[in-house]
């Protein structure tokens, strides 16, 4: 197996959300146990918990279409991602209903992972799902970072930004989180439905202004109403915060680094917080690879963004790789792989792709124009024509992007 694929396999092996959940199960309560949650790892987490929990159990989690799996006593519902849909709105209402009317002897276990922001699509009073979809779509196309997108999402929601935990009171809430965000901030993972929100309405308005987002009138009114503010740190209604981050992007990179060292490669770890425009980060990484003596691997995680200006189909990982291939310009001895750990890069059904020194030459032999396809954001068509897509199917986990450049 190629070193790139070896390291990606090692990374995914370390990203097992079900196994990680079992390492952090809380004690059984005297009363009922209700499980709720959302995210791309929610199905795997729920299935693992159901299999290990001895005692009464019920609940509901929501995951992306195609990422569901049986979870015994816990219902698993599928909904839209990255754009919220009616199924997500209905599921969010059911999640809130499941935690209401509980008492202090009961327990809520919240299984939270990346993707939960779109999947828990319950608009705040006075807003419609169409309002949220319009804002979400515009922010994604503008290339806004996920942290900024989630600031807006929390302030347009009836369940995110701590509101799920408040609905469960006085029942205690134990949150088990799989992080897909740089820095692993629990208030950012899935827009923090069970933790207080330090961000403000003013920050949400600033994000929309920063990215020049035209928003529906109802959203303008909502964000200008002080009553729309999210619950803040120090709010006594939360009680003690009981949260465990069961998996982090750094865990994935550490596993890949161990595998690379065992294979005789020196490791350059850029960390799990790499953010920015995909093609700009690719240019930086190309310069680093050209200055690196092999055998070495350059690892990085984080979340890249794409400012969509063309009509093509792609994703951050594939756009990064196409820009990287152009920047490397056939440099000998440098290969790369970039994939999303959830198995879905952008709006396509692949995890990402691979490049090598012959990528541009092979493309041009097929009549492809790499620079023109990059300008159109048509990275998927580029790698599909070359047969260089990486397809895993849904991995039912989400630790965000995984990138490796191998220098030999």
280-302 pLDDT per residue, tens: 999 999 999 999 998 999 999 99
Query: Where in 167-290 does DSSP place strands (E)?
Result: 173-178, 242-247, 266-269, 274-277
Considering only CA atoms, which of 336, 353, 351, 348 is closest in space to residue 397?
A: 351
Q: Which of 38-52, 192-206, 338-352 has the lowest mean pLDDT?
A: 338-352
Residue 390 DSSP symbol: E
What is the C-alpha separation between 88 and 1, in angstroms, rounded? 39
Q: Are 198 and 233 in contact (CB under 8 A)?
A: yes
Q: Are 294 and 408 in contact (CB under 8 A)?
A: yes
Q: What is the pTM of this model?
A: 0.93
CATH 2.40.50.100 applies to domain 250-407 = no
Look at the alpha carbons of 375, 271, 117, 220 in this order and tell me if their dihedral is positive or negative.
negative
CATH 3.40.50.10180 applies to domain 31-247 = yes
pLDDT of residue 313: 87
Residues 181-212: pLDDT tens digits?
Answer: 988 999 999 999 999 999 999 999 999 999 99
pLDDT of residue 290: 97
pLDDT score of 31 more than 90: yes
Number of H helices and number of E strands within the chain?
Answer: 16, 14
Helix/strand/coil for 7: helix
Tokens of 152: 């807006």
Q: Are 238 and 170 in contact (CB under 8 A)?
A: no
Say how many CA atoms lie within 13 Å of 290 toward its Cβ: 14
Residues 366-384: pLDDT tens digits?
Answer: 999 999 999 999 999 999 9
Which residues make Cβ contacts (< 8 Å) with residue 97, sequence separation at least 6? none
What is the C-alpha separation between 73 and 50, in angstroms, rounded? 7
pLDDT score of 240 more than 80: no
What is the C-alpha separation between 130 and 268, in angstroms, rounded? 45
Tokens of 293: 């003596």
Q: Are 103 and 170 in contact (CB under 8 A)?
A: yes
Delimit the domains of the chain by residue range.
31-247, 250-407
Tokens of 162: 């701590």
Considering only CA atoms, which of 143, 83, 150 is closest in space to residue 308?
A: 143
Which residues make Cβ contacts (< 8 Å) with residue 122, sequence separation at least 6? 89, 92, 93, 96, 157, 158, 159
Which residues make Cβ contacts (< 8 Å) with residue 126, sequence separation at least 6? 218, 221, 222
Tokens of 20: 């990680």
pLDDT of residue 173: 96
Residue 312 DSSP symbol: -
Beta 107-113 vs 33-38: how paired, if at all? parallel
Q: Find the mean pLDDT for residues 256-266.
A: 98
């Amino acid at each position: 197996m190629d070193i790139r694929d070896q390291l990606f396999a090692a990374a995914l092996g370390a990203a097992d959300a079900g196994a990680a959940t079992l390492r952090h199960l809380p004690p059984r309560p005297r009363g009922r146990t209700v499980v709720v949650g959302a995210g791309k790892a929610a199905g795997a987490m729920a299935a693992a918990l159901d299999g290990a929990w001895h005692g009464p159990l019920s609940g509901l989690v929501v995951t992306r279409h195609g990422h569901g799996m049986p979870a015994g006593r816990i219902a698993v519902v599928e909904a839209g991602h990255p754009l919220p849909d009616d199924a997500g709105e209905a599921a969010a209402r059911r999640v809130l209903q499941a935690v209401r009317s509980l008492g202090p002897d009961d327990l809520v276990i919240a299984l939270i992972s990346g993707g939960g922001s779109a999947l828990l699509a319950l608009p705040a009073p006075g807003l419609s799902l169409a309002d949220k979809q319009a804002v979400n779509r515009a922010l994604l196309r503008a290339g806004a970072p996920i942290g900024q997108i989630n600031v807006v999402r929390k302030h347009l929601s009836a369940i995110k930004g701590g509101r799920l935990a408040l609905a469960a009171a006085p029942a205690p809430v134990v949150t088990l989180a799989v992080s897909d965000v740089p820095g692993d901030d629990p208030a950012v993972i899935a827009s923090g439905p069970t933790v207080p929100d330090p961000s403000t309405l003013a920050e949400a308005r600033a994000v929309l202004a920063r990215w020049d987002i035209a928003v529906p009138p109802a959203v303008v009114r909502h964000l200008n109403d002080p009553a729309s503010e999210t619950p803040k740190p120090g709010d006594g209604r939360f009680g003690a915060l009981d949260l465990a981050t069961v998996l982090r992007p750094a865990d994935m990179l550490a596993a890949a680094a161990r595998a690379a060292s065992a294979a005789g490669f020196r490791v350059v770890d850029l960390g799990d917080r790499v953010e920015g425009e995909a093609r700009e980060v690719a240019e930086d990484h190309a310069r680093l690879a050209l200055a690196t003596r092999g055998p070495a691997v350059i690892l990085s995680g984080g979340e890249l963004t794409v400012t969509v200006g063309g009509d093509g189909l792609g994703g951050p990982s594939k756009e990064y790789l196409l820009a990287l291939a152009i920047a490397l310009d056939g440099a000998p001895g440098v290969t790369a792989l970039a994939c999303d750990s959830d198995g879905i890069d952008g709006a396509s059904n692949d995890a990402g792709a691979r490049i090598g020194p012959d990528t541009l030459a092979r493309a041009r032999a097929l009549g492809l124009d790499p620079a023109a396809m990059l300008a159109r954001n048509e990275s998927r068509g580029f790698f599909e024509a070359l047969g260089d897509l990486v397809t895993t199917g849904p991995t039912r986990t989400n630790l965000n992007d995984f990138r490796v450049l191998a220098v030999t």
